[in-house]
Amino acid sequence: MGALESGRPALLTVVDPFVGLRVTLGAWPVDLWGWTAEASADHPSPPRTEGA
């Protein structure tokens, strides 16, 4: 979550060597409310709240 909140992509890989399974989940931050476009370098993005 920290990587996504800071604007970086995140990867999570789960490996089960007993059955030879390897699954990778990738996530990229998405600017749903246009905060990045509205925020200037002098003004940080507003805090995100769950369920907003």
Per-residue confidence in pLDDT tens, the chain, 52 aa: 788 778 888 889 999 999 999 999 998 888 777 666 555 555 565 666 665 5
User: What confidence score (pLDDT) does residue 49 get?
Assistant: 66
User: What confidence score (pLDDT) does residue 18 get?
Assistant: 94
- Tell me the CA distances in angstroms from 20 to 3, 11, 13, 15, 17, one per residue in order: 28, 19, 13, 8, 5
User: What confidence score (pLDDT) does residue 36 get?
Assistant: 60
Cβ-based neighbours of 38, under 8 Å, separated by 6 or more: none
Question: pTM (2 decimals)?
Answer: 0.46
User: What confidence score (pLDDT) does residue 21 get?
Assistant: 95
Helix (H) or strand (E) holding 38: helix 35-38
